[in-house]
């Protein structure tokens, strides 16, 4: 039986080589010369979503939209929402406010032009808005975004806001500007937030665990935010020599079984895009300390 609770299906559209796990192996200047898998894997995901009649929010990397504008048009034509995932996939924690504004503005222009749409949402590369980068939220509101999905309320070796909010809320700024925040999904367990439903947490976890977590969230009346990357459905990714065991696991682990899990997930739970969910839901306004 399909769950009645709506959950949120999202994709971070980016190439396999931009991930933080491979930083130090490739520079931004190397990207144009690396083998691209984005077109074939994006179309794999579009086909899977179409088979299940589900629509998602695609957070697009501006650099990819610049090189593959036809993919953005295909995503829009298929009825999905297109949102922003920065231009260069530089972590916000590695930028100052001026650099962040410039990178985001460039991405908005390229993605909007490619898709012929107005962008409503943003997600930071590698969930990289932490307590120290709270200034980024006001910049996003100034740039016209209506929602953000960049907070991951966990402790992680690369990112995370462990004490951050776990439910959707609204931030208010000067000049009547606002920004909804949709944090990544977590469950509280033994005094800490445990991650679920996306990226490596979804790819490596047994399906029964993901199913149990989403059902528990739904029983609480909360949607699960599921996220993935096109390269995760590719069991034949280009191989990089000399990676550490951790890098190997994060980059290549479980890609051969991910499509099976994804099909089960889309068969058992209901999903929609992020902006559609926000429009349809009555959200309560709560405070947030941005200091």
Domain CATH code at residue 243: 3.20.20.370
Question: How far is 3 from 219, CA to CA, in rounded Å?
Answer: 10
CB 126 within 8 A of CB 159: yes
| Within-domain flag for 286 | no
Q: Where are the beta strands (DSSP E) in 53-185?
A: 57-60, 81-84, 121-122, 147-148, 169-172, 178-181
Residues 6+ apart with CB under 8 A from 109: none
Q: Write down the pLDDT at residue 257.
A: 83
The angle formed by the CA atoms of residues 90, 100 and 114, to the nearest 5 degrees, is 75
User: Does residue 285 lie within any of the structural domains?
Assistant: no
In a domain, 176, yes or no: yes
Sort 230 into a burial class: Cβ within 10 Å, 0-12 / 13-18 / 19+.
buried
Considering only CA atoms, which of 166, 222, 226 is closest in space to residue 194? Answer: 166
Q: How many domains does the chain have?
A: 1
Answer yes or no: is 31 within a domain. no
User: Which 3 state secondary structure label does DSSP give 239?
Assistant: coil
Residue 289 in domain: no
Whether 80 is covered by a domain: the verdict is: yes
Helix 207-219 × helix 258-268 angle, to 10°: 30
Q: Given this model, what pLDDT does residue 286 score?
A: 35
Instruction: Look at residue 229 and tell me if it is in a domain.
Output: yes
pLDDT at residue 250 in the model: 65
Compute the distance between CA of residue 20 and CA of residue 91 in angstroms, rounded to an integer.
Answer: 9
DSSP state of 185: P
Asked if residue 187 is part of any domain, the answer here is yes
pLDDT of 115: 96
Range of the domain at 163: 6-21+36-280
- Can you give the pLDDT at residue 3? 62
Token pair, residue 266, equals 């889309």
For strands 192-195 and 121-122, give the pairing.
unpaired
Q: For the chain, count helices (H), then strands (E).
A: 10, 11
Please give the pLDDT value at position 252. 65
Instruction: List the structure tokens of 130.
Output: 């932490």
Q: Could you identify the residue written with the tokens 């931004």? A: 28
Where are the strands (E) in 113-154, listed by range? 121-122, 147-148
Which residues of the chain carry a pLDDT beneath 70?
1-3, 156-157, 160, 246-254, 282-291
pLDDT at position 287 is 38
Cβ atoms of residues 111 and 65 within 8 Å: yes
Strand runs labelled E in the chain? 6-13, 57-60, 81-84, 121-122, 147-148, 169-172, 178-181, 186-189, 192-195, 225-228, 270-272
């Amino acid at each position: 039986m399909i769950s009645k609770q709506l959950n949120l299906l999202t994709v971070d559209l980016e190439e396999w080589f931009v991930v933080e796990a491979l930083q130090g192996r490739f520079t931004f200047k190397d990207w144009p010369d690396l083998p691209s898998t984005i077109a074939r894997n994006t179309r794999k995901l579009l086909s899977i979503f179409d088979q299940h009649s589900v629509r998602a929010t695609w957070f697009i990397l501006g650099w990819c939209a610049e090189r593959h504008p036809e993919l953005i048009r295909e995503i829009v034509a298929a009825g999905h929402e297109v949102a922003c995932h920065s231009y260069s996939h530089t972590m916000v924690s590695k930028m100052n406010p001026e650099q962040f504004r410039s990178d985001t503005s460039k991405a908005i222009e390229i993605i909007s032009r490619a898709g012929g749409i107005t962008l409503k949402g943003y997600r930071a590369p590698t969930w990289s808005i932490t307590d120290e980068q709270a200034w980024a939220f006001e910049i996003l509101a100034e740039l016209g975004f209506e929602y953000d999905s960049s907070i991951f309320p966990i402790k992680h070796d690369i990112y995370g806001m462990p004490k951050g909010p776990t439910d959707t809320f609204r931030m208010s700024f000067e000049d009547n500007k606002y920004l909804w925040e949709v944090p990544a999904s977590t469950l509280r367990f033994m005094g800490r937030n445990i991650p679920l439903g996306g990226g490596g947490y979804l790819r490596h976890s047994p399906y029964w665990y993901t199913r149990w977590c989403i059902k528990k969230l739904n029983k609480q009346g909360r949607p699960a935010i599921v996220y993935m990357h096109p390269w995760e459905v590719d069991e034949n990714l280009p191989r990089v020599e000399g990676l550490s065991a951790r890098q190997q696991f994060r980059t290549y682990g479980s890609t051969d079984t991910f499509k099976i899990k994804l099909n089960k997930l889309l068969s058992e739970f209901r999903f929609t895009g992020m902006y559609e969910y926000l429009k349809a839901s009555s959200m309560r306004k709560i405070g947030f300390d941005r200091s």
